Structure 1
Amino acid sequence: MTEPAASTRPDKRSVAASFSRAAASYDGVAGLQRTVGDALLARLPADLAPARWLDLGCGTGHFSRVLAARFPRTEGLALDIAEGMLRHARPLGGAAHFVAGDAEHLPLRDASVDLLFSSLALQWCGDFAGVLDGARRVLRPGGYLAFSSLCVGTLQELRDSWQAVDGLVHVNAFRRFEDYQQLCADSGLRLVGLERCAEVLHFPDLRQLTHELKALGAHNLNPGRPGGLTGRARVRALVEAYERQRQPLGLPATYQVVYGILRKA
């Protein structure tokens, strides 16, 4: 089993720049991110008492502050590739140290943390096997990696609607759930749990959905995405295609969320 080709994954500089620009608007539209992060926290062992934890892909630092409240007598680290997110997070506290870094090349010592927590960040990493290798390296024996990510099927309604318009790449690509299964099985970490759960949001119109994606910094970051402005005729065609999927609660946007808990022997 191999990872998706590098050419199909977002460029790290584009990801960092997009999320840096979104730092000020992110928390205002991050309802799904809060729901998923809380669900990941609920999957942690009840007796977990880490001496040192890392919030990997900390964003605005919301879950760094939650972790600090949950484990008040521990040292917390927060890491993100987006400098703009770190500038937003530092004054709000939560972690003892905020570090600019790459999840695929963790700038931490071997066996230096007891909990590596990462919610909705690792889907942007092209080398997920490298992320798992790094987690195994930096975790102490008995330490946990808890992550949530996204897999194929995320924003499928938007993808299908664009396919009906022009067939071009307008929606971010994500790994298959089967890839997560195989990579976790091959990681050298003990798999405690791995599952996929669908979260469906509803929007009054397409404009609200695209506004939220931009405010999160999670709009189309794929290589090969169309450049320039989208013409009015294509936008009308997209709206018409998406409207055919309208439900009583509004236009659906499905997120296929992967939750994983792994432990170092």
Structure 2
Amino acid sequence: MNERPDKRLVAASFSKAAGSYDSVAQLQRDVGQQLLQYLPLSLQPQRWLDVGCGTGFFSRALTDRYPRSEGIAVDIAEGMLQHARQASAAQAFVAGDAERLPLRDASCDLLFSSLALQWCADFQAVLDEAHRVLRPGGTLAFSSLCVGTLQELRDSWLAVDGFVHVNRFRSAEDYQALCAGSSLQIRRLQVRAHRLYYADLRSLTHGLKALGAHNLNDGRPAGLTGRARLRALADAYERQRQAEGLPCTYQVIYGVLQKEPGP
């Protein structure tokens, strides 16, 4: 499925959430740390890109990991870039889109992107752009969300009405097919489930809003959600409660791909 929210809505939503993002981004930190561990130990990039850098948390981590490298933080949300600039998370900050990177051909050695590419409608274009901007032997490392993410919330809303309340994500099979058909060589491609638990529905929905990752899809209901529907949603979600709390599952695909070495 290629339906994705309007990039302008995505940029505006994440810009608005920039101030609250880090306070609720435990999943993002966990996933990004896992992606860092998947980077080849032999990799020593002269220049790296953090695409979808957000507030710059992993730009700082890449700067620490590769202190002699030049780092470029890229995001479509200017509000996020402002936070990354204030944190001096990289050497350069660029407003840009993973589907149309504003960079020269063969200009970097590592393209790192954690939990950003799910907002791209054309993942083939993302792969093509990665191949274009990477130098021979360069690495694309990404994590993204798959079908099955927020399934508990989706199922609970289905018990209430027919509107689209949960963001749509690409299937793992689509990611696998696109990566296999790309000009990049697959070094790692796997899906892992990450599960968070919340005390109540309000905590879950507040966390999604603070991240800027609330519902941005076409078909979402207009206006405020009435109290009766929220109560019905809470009742439906309560039926899934576990000892740890209300479960919220994220299906995350991790990919490490490499551009063919030069002659």
TM-score normalised over the length of structure 1: 0.97
Q: Report the residue type matching 1:88 in the other structure.
A: H
Q: Render the CA deviation track for 1:207-226: whole Å, top value 9, x for unaligned.
A: 00000000000000101111
Q: How many positions carry a matched residue from both structures?
A: 260
Q: What pairs with 1:74-85 in structure 2 (closer than 5 Å)? A: 74-85=69-80
- 1:12 maps to 7
- The CA distance in 1 between the partners of 2:152 and 2:161, in whole Å, is 15
- The CA distance in 2 between the partners of 1:216 and 1:99, in whole Å, is 21
Q: Render the CA deviation track for 1:23-52: whole Å, top value 9, x for unaligned.
A: 000000000000000000000111110010
Q: Kindly state the Cα deviation for residue 15 of structure 1 after the two structures are TM-superposed.
A: 0.1
- The CA distance in 2 between the partners of 1:205 and 1:181, in whole Å, is 35
- 1:212 maps to 207
Runs of 4+ in 1 over 2 A off after TM superposition: none
Q: Percent identity?
A: 71
Query: 1:131 is matched with which residue: 126, 134, 138?
Result: 126
- The CA distance in 2 between the partners of 1:54 and 1:85, in whole Å, is 15
- 2:230 maps to 235
- The CA distance in 1 between the partners of 2:251 and 2:234, in whole Å, is 23
Question: Is 2:177 aligned against 1:163?
Answer: no
- The CA distance in 1 between the partners of 2:135 and 2:89, in whole Å, is 22
TM-score normalised over the length of structure 2: 0.98
- 2:46 maps to 51
Q: Render the CA deviation track for 1:151-172: whole Å, top value 9, x for unaligned.
A: 0000000000000100210000
- The CA distance in 2 between the partners of 1:110 and 1:167, in whole Å, is 46
- The CA distance in 2 between the partners of 1:88 and 1:46, in whole Å, is 29
SS at match of 1:212: helix
Gaps of 5+ in 1: none
- The CA distance in 1 between the partners of 2:90 and 2:227, in whole Å, is 46
- 1:89 maps to 84
Q: Kindly state the Cα deviation for residue 229 of structure 1 after the two structures are TM-superposed.
A: 0.8
- The CA distance in 2 between the partners of 1:187 and 1:227, in whole Å, is 39
